[in-house]
Amino acid sequence: MELNDIHPFTISVPDSDLTGLYKKLELTRLPDELDLPINQQWEWGMPVAVLKPIIDYWCTQYDWRAVEERINRTLPQFTTHIESRAHGPQNIHFVFKKSKNPSALPLLFVHGWPGNFLEVSKMIDELTNPLDPKHPAFHVVAPSLPGFVFSDRTSTPGMDAIGTAFVFDKLMIKLGFKHYLAQGGDWGARVCRALAIYHKESCLGTHANLISYGAPTFWRNPLISLKLVLGGKGIPGGYSAEEMAGLQRMQEFLTSGNAYMRLQGTRPQSLAYALTDSPAGLLAWIGEKLYAWTDNYPWTPEELITWTMLYWIKGPGGGLRYYKENHIIHRGNRAGPHAELEFGWSSTPFAFSLFPKEVAPLPLEWAGLCQNLVYAKKHNKGGHFAAWEVPELLCEDIREFARIVERLDGRLRLKV
């Protein structure tokens, strides 16, 4: 195997796979459901009244070949083998678009679940070749996580965020980038955290739109604990009503919105049987998250189906297993296998963007608990998939962060 080869990649789903997909769609059997008030229907999962029209669209109007052609035309894709930390060579799929600007900075963009590499598509042109020449430009690399979409899975356990960071750091170096910045949401934020801790000589700064480390405690953060108490009582000096509402949103997510997380983090294989065999089931499993985690984003049937297709093509198992690989049920455990990721300090410059409909919109100052926070911005719109929902806002935050890191670290030199 030639590990130095980087191969252009074109998505080309076999006709036989599409034929099998449509046969399964035609045989879809939908469950019954309770008669519920409209404001309670989503509390039980994706309503049939929402799902069925999308399935009908999939069967009669959706054109995968047109979508496939558009992705291949607009996003330059590649694959290459990267030697992993403990699993041998891994075949990694990635988008790679270079800027025309010779002073451009390398930027690693990392997605999560149920996201995918397409999330970068709404920003990639403006990041690589901005309309305003005063803006910094970037060489953008957007890989698929191991086991996700077109990146191969491992055959043995252990490919977690730390292992992923190892692979992605090697990918950036293989592409010729000795130093780079990284951005991530969802699991991408966790991978960026691992880059900041374990690869700080090459990853010179990370930006995230999700805080991926542990919550403050009274003994380690007494002032924050006091502000929580004061904010809960509406006393001046505590967190604002808006900040307390964000914390309440997080609590609601933990109590009524994270069943998927516990299932994927404990018995992903059992779930994989159902979702690998039922495109309608996979659409409901993913689609419910896309609706619930965004800020009233107007998802089109084509978008919902395309995001589902990217998990259907090679199977959703790798994405489901990633939760167990990352010991999700041990989050917050100081003796757990990822304690350093959760609670360790990193001096790597960090920027954080807060969007109000994130599943856990925590106070801005929490972003600096475990990493060197140099920039933070609170926005008044956007949710969990900021790169897709409000790409212009996330793009501007990335630019501002890059300017700051350039001033802090001479190894990054912006000449624009």
Question: Is the dihedral angle over the CA atoms 23, 26, 30, 36 positive or is it negative?
Answer: positive
- Sole residue written with tokens 């403990």: 86
Three-point CA angle 375, 381, 384, nearest 5°: 75
- Average pLDDT in the 161-170 region? 98
Residue 204 maps to a domain: yes
Nearest CA to 92 out of 107, 110, 104 is that of 110
Which range of 247-251, 376-380, 409-413 scores highest in mean pLDDT? It is 376-380
Residue whose C-alpha is closest to residue 118's, from 71, 188, 161: 71
Q: Are residues 167 and 83 in the same domain?
A: yes
Q: Of 173, 161, 125, 188, which Cα lies nearest the Cα of 6? A: 173
Nearest to 361 by CA among 210, 218, 169: 210
Establish whether 384 is a catalytic residue.
yes
* Two tokens, residue 235: 């006393």
Distances 13 to 42, 55, 68, 123, 142 between C-alpha atoms, Å: 33, 20, 8, 26, 21
pLDDT number for residue 299:
98
- Give 375's strand partners: 351
Burial (0-12, 13-18, 19+ Cβ within 10 Å), 390: buried
Confidence (pLDDT) at 127: 98
Same structural domain, 239 and 191: no
Per-residue confidence band for 22, with pLDDT thresholds at 50, 70 and 90: very high
Note whether residue 265 is domain-resident: no
- CA-to-CA dists, residue 266 to 45, 125, 190, 248, 329, angstroms: 20, 39, 19, 26, 8
Range of the domain at 247: 222-253
Q: Which of 152, 160, 169, 186 is catalytic?
A: 186
Shared domain for 235 and 204, answered yes or no, is: no
Query: By percentage, how much of the chain surpasses pLDDT 90?
Result: 84
Helix (H) or strand (E) holding 207: strand 203-208
208 falls within a domain: yes
What sign does the CA torsion over 153, 118, 297, 305 have? Answer: negative
| Per-residue pLDDT band at 415 (split at 50, 70, 90) | very low
Decide which of 129 and 327 is more confident: 129
Angle among Cα 333, 339, 345 to the nearest 5 degrees reads 125
Catalytic residue among 62, 180, 297, 323: 323
Residues 142 and 248 in one domain: no
Q: Are residues 237 and 357 in the same domain?
A: no
Q: Are residues 227 and 206 in the same domain?
A: no
Is the bond preceding residue 8 a cis peptide, omega within 30 degrees? no
Can you tell me the distance from the alpha carbon of 215 to that of 65, in angstroms, rounded to the nearest whole number? 45
CATH number, domain containing residue 394: 3.40.50.1820
Given a cut of 80, is residue 412 above it in pLDDT?
A: no
In a domain, 314, yes or no: no
Cα separation, 6 vs 176, whole angstroms: 12
372 and 235 both lie in a single domain: no
Is 323 among the residues known to form the active site? yes
Half-sphere CA count of 377, side-chain side, radius 13 A: 19
335 pLDDT band, cuts 50/70/90, is low
124 and 199 both lie in a single domain: yes
Per-residue confidence (pLDDT) for residue 217, from 0 to 100: 79
The pLDDT of residue 205 is 98
Domain check: are 89 and 136 in the same one?
yes
- Determine the Cα–Cα distance for residues 149 and 309; give it in Å rounded to an integer: 9
Higher pLDDT, 410 or 144: 144
The mean pLDDT of the chain is 94
Q: What pLDDT is recorded for position 284?
A: 98
Q: How far apart are CA 230 and CA 223, in angstroms?
A: 11
Known catalytic residue at 207:
no
Question: Quick one: 189 and 105 in the same domain?
Answer: yes
Closest CA to 111 of 184, 18, 8: 184
Per-residue pLDDT, 414: 45
Q: Note the pLDDT of residue 332.
A: 64
In DSSP notation, 338-386 reads THHHHH--EEEEEEEEE-TBSSS---GGGGGSSEEEEEEEE-SS-BTTH
Number of separate helices (H) and strands (E) present in the chain: 16, 9
pLDDT tier, 91 (very low <50, low <70, confident <90, very high otherwise): very high
Under the banding of pLDDT at 50, 70 and 90, the label for residue 388 is very high
Give the β-pairing of 77-83 and 6-9: antiparallel
Number of domains the chain is built from: 2
User: Do 107 and 185 fall within a single domain?
Assistant: yes
Q: Do 174 and 230 belong together in one domain?
A: no
Q: What does the block give as tokens for 10?
A: 């074109």
